[in-house]
Chains A and B, each alone.
Chain A
Amino acid sequence: MSRRTIAVLFGGRSLEHDVSVVSGLQILNAVDPELFSPMPVYIDQAMRWWIGDDIWHTEAFKSGGPDRSRLIEVTLSAGFGTSTLSPVGALPAAIGTSSAVPVDAFIPVLHGTFGEDGCVQGLLELGGCAFVGCGVAASAIGMSKRLTKVVAAQAGVPIVPWVSCERSVLDRGSAWLTALPAQVGSALGWPVIVKPCNLGSSAGVSTAASPSELTAAVLRVFEYDVEALIEPFITNRLELNVAVAGLDDAVASVTEMPVTARSSILSFSEKYKRQGRKSIGSSEGMAGALRVLDPDDLPAEMRAQAQTYATTVFKALGCEGISRIDFLINVDTNQLFFNEINTLPGSLAFYLWSAAPHYWTITELLTRLIDRAERLRAMKRGLQRKPPPELRLLS
């Protein structure tokens, strides 16, 4: 059997472009070469898609990105079910590599806006392509911290209360500068943590202990996002993350505790760069942060609870592929809260799978996910698409 072509999409125009490149190349190199023929597809900041031999290594992405003149720009061919990458401005076939490339399955490894939020997934759906990971609805809801909370709460998973503030308040004068702190003070108390509602990374996140700090924190969010989410800041807290893989059933991984989170929020650089090193190329995405896998001092019932909640949220959102679900523990009250979901976690959280008890390498896991993506596509294609007689108005 010939090897199936797997296109790994990375890059994108979100703040997490670089993280996506690092993650994408990891995934690219982890795809089983005996079964598949992996192909890197770099999506640049202008959302143009490129293929070529130069983009297999992070070195090509330093100082201004890869040399475009050595790459071929491609686009997903129009027409449902073609699942083909065609060169833009179709060069004469004589030039060789300019012919269209049929793709068996896509693995989007794009983080944040336009990549993790359902946009690219929608494009792949329109093309009738098989792809690993969440579909449009789960991606879109998972991107909004507020909507995810609503779904999680509905599914019976405990959440932290919130107040949200939309950027459109800026168009209505300065009354919000006093109204918002008053609302937050009575609904949540102080201190609070202020986050962008729709960003995956920790960019724009800050804490506030007073009205003036709150309004500043909200403005900081408005530099990046159209909605700010304000939650009580649990001072004495721990974070606990669980990954879930959508195989035949949703399977929860072991838990991890990012140790730098004990006192402060995990900052962007701590999250994505290994300590003491500057170069992102040497980092391994989320795998670079300091963490403890299955911490000993975590009560067994809390671990089990986190895993149950994680699969519950995963299923409630209708996720596919691998998601990482993040929880907060209030150390004073010993309570566990759902915090947020990453429907496309950095490095697909592979480090959580290569730990016992599952012991799947990322390669094995990717093979299973690709197979599942192809089965799902087949299932969708098998659905009845012919309109019933009452809808045939024109024939």
Chain B
Amino acid sequence: MSDFWPWLPVITLVQTFLIWQRVLAYLRYFQQEGYEHLRFLRWANIRSLTDPAFWLSIISAFLFLWAPTTALVLFVSGAVILGLGQPDPRHSGKVLLKLTWRATRVLAVSMVFAVSAWIIVTNLYRDTGLRAPLISAAVVFAVLPLVLIAANAALMPYEGAVQRGYEAEAVARVKAVHPFIVGITGSYGKSSTKAMLAHILQFDGPTLAASGSINTLMGITRHIREELVFGHRYMIVEMGAFKTGSIRRLCQLTPPSAGLVTAVGDMHLERFGSLDEIVRAKSELAQAVPPGGWLVANADSPGALQIANAATHCRVLLYGETSAGELATRLENISFSKQGTTFVLRTKDRAYECFTPLLGRPIILNLAGAFTLANALGVDPDIAVAAMRTLKPVSNRLEVVEERGVIWIRDAYNSNQVGFRAALEVVGAMPVARRFLATPGVIELGPMQFDVNRALSREASLVCDSTLIVADTNREAFIAGHREEGREARLVMVANRAEAFRWLRETVKDGDAIILENDLPDLYEHSAGVFWKAGAAS
């Protein structure tokens, strides 16, 4: 047996390499799940047991009983091939692994844990000679997701201390600069409302608003530390609620002088449990608005209206389109074209004829909300209306791009049914030859997920000539929806977005329109290559 020992350094080398690769692969999804253990576990499930590296170790360990040398050669060469064959999550895939400081820390500690675990387990089986590292490899690959969780847990006290230090710094900065803070919350449209309000307010005074959808304590803290400077008159903060209490926390960091509630609905229902719980979580913003401060709310959304009605301590302004009540701003006469939307905003004194290059009914309704709040803050309404003409569509949010005669309506970042319907409405209003839709459906709706997707499928079947349902997450619901309308022939099933694009490129002609609706994160697209390059697997 002892002549085999020169093998040990070689095995250690390739095993460490393969562990490194796999830790990187898992880290991408751990990062996407915000380092939340339960969410990551739900994704990981028994995935590690489908890892070819796990099976390679098992097979080599068995083979070792009969042909030790062959087993070792198989393991070493297999590990090298698997390691090199794995796509680098930093450079390939839809959501890349960003090696932030935190990710680097988790990576480093995970490596230490994984390699130590491998050495310890190898030691336990040391009487089996060189079979021990192979058995140990199988164990390590099987529990690797747990190793990442353990590494993250071990880092918790440190991460917490770092985060608290940053937070204290951010709070001090906010106190010193003392901007007028507008908090925006809602289930949908927070980011777009923030961008639109910032666009209008910038002509009244220096305005800070994070681009994209930074809406967590950590994200906002970082944004304040990096961007908030003396001279900023307004700061607009998007406040996301992951659970009851999270907005209250955010309001301690950035105490709002005014609040805006867009639409409160069933998004993230899975996380909250009930609609009442969502309303309660979002109403924390209204409670944080100081007495006599402005609270602007969407009267068309029963949840938002409920929050507004409960906020008796502040001055409430309502906006809407369909609400029968008295409104500060009423949205009327919407019409869509390829260029944008024309509409009327009616206030108590006047009707403003408006145009904006943006599209989609909920977006225009949010624009009415931004307009209402800007008016309340003393911005000249005519300047606000002029500014609407220069709004730029946010990338992949009902963004219309014309490419060689084909209209692409990119709405990949939308992920809720309201936005979904808005995209269908916009494409339905456009004079085009044929309409196509590519979507994986909407997710995170708990028990309602099937019914919501079935309803969306029915509506899509009425508007679109073909609907491509991507991946299998909502496939059954889409089949059911199309079947109910007797339009099953209009449904095309594809495994992943690459396949959807291939199909579209072969099918569309001049004058057609395509909606790309809700791009699922990598986590939900099962065919995405975690361990192996996606193309090779399918």
Give A residues with C-beta under 8 Å from B: 170, 173-174, 177, 212-213, 215-217, 219-220, 222-223
Q: Chain B's interface: helix, strand, loop or mixed, by majority?
A: loop
Partner of B390, one of A170, A177, A220: A220
Question: Given the complex, which residues of A lie within 8 Å of B382, measured CB to CB?
Answer: 174, 177
List the 3 closest pairs (A to B, CB-CB), nearest first: A216-B389, A174-B380, A174-B382
Compute how far the CA of A173 lies from the CA of B386 in the bound complex, rounded to whole angstroms: 13
Q: Is the CB of B383 within 8 A of A174?
A: yes
Interface membership of B204, Cβ < 8 A:
yes
Question: Given the complex, which residues of A lie within 8 Å of B242, measured CB to CB?
Answer: none
A174-B383, A219-B386 known, 4 other contacts, Cβ within 8 Å: A173-B380, A177-B386, A216-B389, A219-B390
Q: Name 17 interchain pairs, CB-CB below 8 A, sorted by A.
A: A170-B203, A170-B204, A173-B380, A174-B383, A177-B383, A212-B355, A212-B386, A213-B389, A215-B386, A216-B389, A216-B390, A217-B390, A219-B386, A219-B389, A219-B390, A223-B202, A223-B390
Compute how far the CA of A179 lies from the CA of B365 in the bound complex, rounded to whole angstroms: 30
Please name the residue on chain B nearest to A170 by beta carbon: B203
Q: Chain A's interface: helix, strand, loop or mixed, by majority?
A: helix
Interface membership of B387, Cβ < 8 A:
yes
Q: Is the CB of A216 within 8 A of B386?
A: yes
Compute how far the CA of A223 lies from the CA of B392 in the bound complex, rounded to whole angstroms: 12
Compute how far the CA of A217 lies from the CA of B202 in the bound complex, rounded to whole angstroms: 15
Compute how far the CA of A216 lies from the CA of B382 in the bound complex, rounded to whole angstroms: 11
Q: How far is the CB of B337 from chain A (nearest CB, A)?
A: 16
Please name the residue on chain A nearest to B356 by beta carbon: A216
Please name the residue on chain A nearest to B380 by beta carbon: A174
Compute how far the CA of A178 lies from the CA of B389 in the bound complex, rounded to whole angstroms: 16
Compute how far the CA of A223 lies from the CA of B201 in the bound complex, rounded to whole angstroms: 11
Compute how far the CA of A177 lies from the CA of B385 in the bound complex, rounded to whole angstroms: 11
Question: Given the complex, which residues of B lie within 8 Å of A219, measured CB to CB?
Answer: 203, 383, 386-387, 389-390
Compute how far the CA of A213 lies from the CA of B390 in the bound complex, rounded to whole angstroms: 9
Compute how far the CA of A220 lies from the CA of B202 in the bound complex, rounded to whole angstroms: 11
Question: Given the complex, which residues of B lie within 8 Å of A212, measured CB to CB?
Answer: 355, 386, 389
Q: How far is the CB of A85 from chain B (nearest CB, A)?
A: 27
Please name the residue on chain A nearest to B384 by beta carbon: A174
How many chain B residues touch A (CB < 8 A): the figure is 11
Q: Is the CB of B203 within 8 A of A222?
A: yes
Compute how far the CA of A213 lies from the CA of B202 in the bound complex, rounded to whole angstroms: 19
Question: Given the complex, which residues of B lie within 8 Å of A220, measured CB to CB?
Answer: 390
Q: How far is the CB of B370 from chain A (nearest CB, A)?
A: 15
Compute how far the CA of A174 lies from the CA of B374 in the bound complex, rounded to whole angstroms: 14
Partner of B383, one of A170, A213, A217, A223: A170
Please name the residue on chain B nearest to A167 by beta carbon: B203
Question: Given the complex, which residues of A lie within 8 Å of B387, measured CB to CB?
Answer: 216, 219
For B191-214 the 0/1 string (1 means CB < 8 A from A) is 000000000001110000000000
Question: Given the complex, which residues of B lie within 8 Å of A222, measured CB to CB?
Answer: 203
Compute how far the CA of A222 lies from the CA of B207 in the bound complex, rounded to whole angstroms: 13
Compute how far the CA of A362 lies from the CA of B369 in the bound complex, rounded to whole angstroms: 56
Question: Given the complex, which residues of A lie within 8 Å of B202, measured CB to CB?
Answer: 223
Question: Given the complex, which residues of B lie within 8 Å of A174, measured CB to CB?
Answer: 380, 382-383
Compute how far the CA of A215 lies from the CA of B382 in the bound complex, rounded to whole angstroms: 10
Q: How far is the CB of A324 from chain B (nearest CB, A)?
A: 29
Compute how far the CA of A216 lies from the CA of B199 in the bound complex, rounded to whole angstroms: 12
Compute how far the CA of A223 lies from the CA of B207 in the bound complex, rounded to whole angstroms: 11
Question: Given the complex, which residues of B lie within 8 Å of A170, measured CB to CB?
Answer: 203-204, 383
Please name the residue on chain B nearest to A178 by beta carbon: B382
For B370-414 the 0/1 string (1 means CB < 8 A from A) is 000000000010110011011000000000000000000000000
Question: Given the complex, which residues of B lie within 8 Å of A216, measured CB to CB?
Answer: 386-387, 389-390
Compute how far the CA of A173 lies from the CA of B384 in the bound complex, rounded to whole angstroms: 12
Q: How far is the CB of B229 from chain A (nearest CB, A)?
A: 12
Compute how far the CA of A18 lies from the CA of B311 in the bound complex, rounded to whole angstroms: 49
Of residues 185 to 237 in B, which have CB atoms within 8 Å of A's CB atoms? 202-204
Q: How far is the CB of A52 from chain B (nearest CB, A)?
A: 21
Please name the residue on chain A nearest to B96 by beta carbon: A63
For B341-382 the 0/1 string (1 means CB < 8 A from A) is 000000000000001000000000000000000000000101
Compute how far the CA of A231 lies from the CA of B202 in the bound complex, rounded to whole angstroms: 25
Of residues 8 to 31 in B, which have CB atoms within 8 Å of A's CB atoms? none
Compute how far the CA of A213 lies from the CA of B388 in the bound complex, rounded to whole angstroms: 11
Question: Given the complex, which residues of A lie within 8 Å of B380, measured CB to CB?
Answer: 173-174
Q: Pick from A170, A212, A216, A222 the residue with the most CB of B within 10 Å.
A: A216
Q: Pick from B355, B380, B383 the residue with the most CB of A within 10 Å.
A: B383
Please name the residue on chain B nearest to A222 by beta carbon: B203
Compute how far the CA of A13 lies from the CA of B30 in the bound complex, rounded to whole angstroms: 35
Compute how far the CA of A219 lies from the CA of B202 in the bound complex, rounded to whole angstroms: 10
Q: How far is the CB of B90 from chain A (nearest CB, A)?
A: 10
Question: Given the complex, which residues of A lie within 8 Å of B390, measured CB to CB?
Answer: 216-217, 219-220, 223
Q: How far is the CB of B80 from chain A (nearest CB, A)?
A: 28
Please name the residue on chain B nearest to A218 by beta carbon: B386
Question: Given the complex, which residues of A lie within 8 Å of B386, measured CB to CB?
Answer: 177, 212, 215-216, 219
Question: Given the complex, which residues of B lie within 8 Å of A213, measured CB to CB?
Answer: 389
Question: Given the complex, which residues of B lie within 8 Å of A215, measured CB to CB?
Answer: 386
Q: Pick from B382, B389, B390 the residue with the most CB of A within 10 Å.
A: B390
Please name the residue on chain A nearest to B354 by beta carbon: A212
Please name the residue on chain B nearest to A204 by beta carbon: B390
Compute how far the CA of A220 lies from the CA of B390 in the bound complex, rounded to whole angstroms: 6
Please name the residue on chain A nearest to B200 by beta carbon: A219
Compute how far the CA of A216 lies from the CA of B203 in the bound complex, rounded to whole angstroms: 12
Compute how far the CA of A126 lies from the CA of B227 in the bound complex, rounded to whole angstroms: 31
Question: Given the complex, which residues of A lie within 8 Å of B204, measured CB to CB?
Answer: 170
Compute how far the CA of A174 lies from the CA of B204 in the bound complex, rounded to whole angstroms: 11
Please name the residue on chain A nearest to B387 by beta carbon: A219
Compute how far the CA of A170 lies from the CA of B355 in the bound complex, rounded to whole angstroms: 21
Compute how far the CA of A121 lies from the CA of B295 in the bound complex, rounded to whole angstroms: 50
Question: Given the complex, which residues of A lie within 8 Å of B383, measured CB to CB?
Answer: 170, 174, 177, 219
Compute how far the CA of A170 lies from the CA of B207 in the bound complex, rounded to whole angstroms: 14
Q: How far is the CB of A181 from chain B (nearest CB, A)?
A: 11
Q: How far is the CB of B518 from chain A (nearest CB, A)?
A: 25
Compute how far the CA of A174 lies from the CA of B355 in the bound complex, rounded to whole angstroms: 18
Question: Given the complex, which residues of A lie within 8 Å of B389, measured CB to CB?
Answer: 212-213, 216, 219
Q: How far is the CB of A221 from chain B (nearest CB, A)?
A: 10
Compute how far the CA of A223 lies from the CA of B195 in the bound complex, rounded to whole angstroms: 14
